Amino acid sequence: MATTLNASPRGTKSKPDQDFRFERKYHIQGLPKAEVEMWVRHSPAFFSECFPPRHINNIYFDTPALDNYHENLSGQADRTKIRIRWYGAFLDSPAKATLEYKIKRGMVGTKESCKLPPLKLLPGFSCDDFDHYWEQCDIPQKVSMDLKTVIPTICNRYHRKYFLSADSKYRITVDTGLEFIAIDRFDNQFQRKRILQNSVVIELKYSGDIALMDERLFNFFHSE
């Protein structure tokens, strides 16, 4: 990834180093969603739903040489991704969006963000339309410079449920209905998509020293 993306963007809502949190994703295939949720609820931490479920939409950006993609494939521990995220409808959504820097440092991660106006995706959308969109956004100069070095490369969409442990130390998200939608430079109709019908992604998030994680919970996840 270009060096500008590894710097902390001024003007974004940032978090101190101690707010980096342990994040671990698990991709589960071949199990019904209801069975996965039951498995989560019956873990030693006694998870229960803590927030209304919703659809999440993302557009990920990368350099023209796909540096971030190759960093991910090679397993590079420290990397930064840029994405736009919004909730609800995918096309012509009235929801405000958020520009996020997703920062990964080994097994811990954090986010830095800027609020954006609604992103109105419509059939025929061109990557050049982002130039007009950025003009409507109140973003810091450093972030604006970063955006000149990247292009949109992929969209994804999924339905997310949120769970919190009984002691409020651990959070789990359960994502289903995963869709990956190709984004072209010109005339996007958003019809080219890949749908993962029998896939569930769960992510365990924990704000604290991994060495202090409840051993029962750690063993529970790593035994599956």
Q: Is residue 1 predicted with pLDDT exceeding 60?
A: no
Give dist(CA 52, CA 49) in Å, integer.
8
In this prediction, residue 131 carries a pLDDT of: 87
Give dist(CA 164, CA 204) in Å, integer.
10
Predicted confidence (pLDDT) per residue in 38-95, tens digit: 989 988 888 999 999 999 999 999 998 989 888 888 878 888 999 999 999 999 999 9
Predicted confidence (pLDDT) per residue in 180-205, tens digit: 999 888 888 888 899 998 899 999 98
Query: How far from each other are the two terminal CA atoms of the chain, in whole angstroms?
Result: 33
Query: With respect to CATH, is domain 10-222 assigned 3.40.710?
Result: no
Q: How many CA atoms lie within 13 A of 86 on its CB side?
A: 20
* Domain boundaries along the sequence of the chain: 10-222
Q: How far is CA 168 from CA 50, 196, 207, 221, in A?
A: 10, 31, 10, 18
Predicted confidence (pLDDT) per residue in 9-42, tens digit: 444 554 444 478 888 888 999 889 999 999 899 8
In this prediction, residue 23 carries a pLDDT of: 87
Burial of 103 (0-12, 13-18, 19+ CB in 10 A): buried
In this prediction, residue 13 carries a pLDDT of: 52
Closest listed residue to residue 90, CA positions, set 21, 218, 208, 191: 191
In this prediction, residue 16 carries a pLDDT of: 41
Across the chain, what does the average pLDDT equal? Answer: 85
